[in-house]
Amino acid sequence: MKSAPYFLAAIAGCLITVWPIPETIALRYLFLVAGCILSIYTIKNNRDIVFSRNSGHIWLLFSFFLWLTIHILVFSNKFDEQLYEFKGTWVRVLLSAICGVALGLSLSQIKRKNESEILEKVIIAGFYGAPIIYFLRYVYEIYATGNWVHTNFYMHPYLSKTTVVVFGSLLLPLIFIKILQSDGDKGRNLWVPVGIFGILLVLFAEYFSDTKNGVGFFILALIIFVLNFLKDSKFSTVAAARTPSIIFIILACTLIPYGLVKHIESNAAWDTPWADFKIGLDIEKYEYWKNNVIYDAPNNEYGVRVSTTIYERTAWIVAGLKLIKENPQGYGLLHHSFGALAADKWPDFKTQNASGKTRGSTHSAWVDFTLGLGIPGLALVILPLWISFFRALQRKGFWYTYICWAVPLITAIYLTTEVAFDYFFEFLFFMTALFCGLTLQKPEQVTKFTHS
Q: What is the tens place of the pLDDT at every residue in 349-387?
A: 876 544 444 457 888 999 999 999 999 999 999 999 999
**299 Cβ partners below 8 Å, 6+ apart?**
305, 306
Q: What is the pLDDT of residue 265?
A: 56
Percent share of the chain, pLDDT over 70: 85
pLDDT grade for 16, boundaries at 50, 70 and 90: very high
Q: What is the pLDDT of residue 418?
A: 84
CA distance 11 to 327: 39
Interval 104-128 mean pLDDT: 91
Three-state SS for 394?
coil
The Cα-based distances of 322 to 310, 319, 342 in angstroms read: 19, 5, 10
8 or 300: which leads in pLDDT: 8
**381 Cβ partners below 8 Å, 6+ apart?**
61, 64, 369, 428, 429, 432
**152 Cβ partners below 8 Å, 6+ apart?**
208, 209, 210
- Most confident range (mean pLDDT) of 87-96, 208-217, 260-269, 276-285 is 87-96
186 or 388: which leads in pLDDT: 388
Q: Exposure of 52 by Cβ count < 10 A (0-12 exposed, 13-18 middle, 19+ buried)? A: middle
CA distance 247 to 243: 8
**185 Cβ partners below 8 Å, 6+ apart?**
none
- Most confident range (mean pLDDT) of 7-11, 54-58, 226-230, 238-242 is 7-11
Q: Provide the terminal-to-terminal Cα distance of the chain, rounded to the nearest Å.
A: 23
446 or 147: which leads in pLDDT: 147
Q: Is the pLDDT of residue 98 over 80?
A: yes
DSSP secondary structure string, 162-215?
HHHHHHHHHHHHHHHHHHHHHTT-GGGTTHHHHHHHHHHHHHHHHHHHT-HHHH
Q: Is the pLDDT of residue 170 over 70?
A: yes
Q: Classify residue 370 by its DSSP letter.
A: H
Q: Exposure of 253 by Cβ count < 10 A (0-12 exposed, 13-18 middle, 19+ buried)? A: exposed
pLDDT grade for 275, boundaries at 50, 70 and 90: confident
pLDDT grade for 407, boundaries at 50, 70 and 90: very high
Model pTM? 0.90
Interval 232-259 mean pLDDT: 56
Interval 296-312 mean pLDDT: 82
CB 84 within 8 A of CB 20: no
Q: What is the pLDDT of residue 237?
A: 47
Find how far residue 54's CA is from the centre of its chain: 26
pLDDT grade for 428, boundaries at 50, 70 and 90: very high
Task: Render pLDDT for 139-162 as a digit per residue (tens, 0 to 9).
Answer: 999 988 888 888 777 777 788 888
Share of the chain residues as helix, strand and coil, in percent rounded to the nearest 5:
70, 0, 25
Amino acid at 134: Y
Domain regions of the chain by residue span: 4-270+363-450
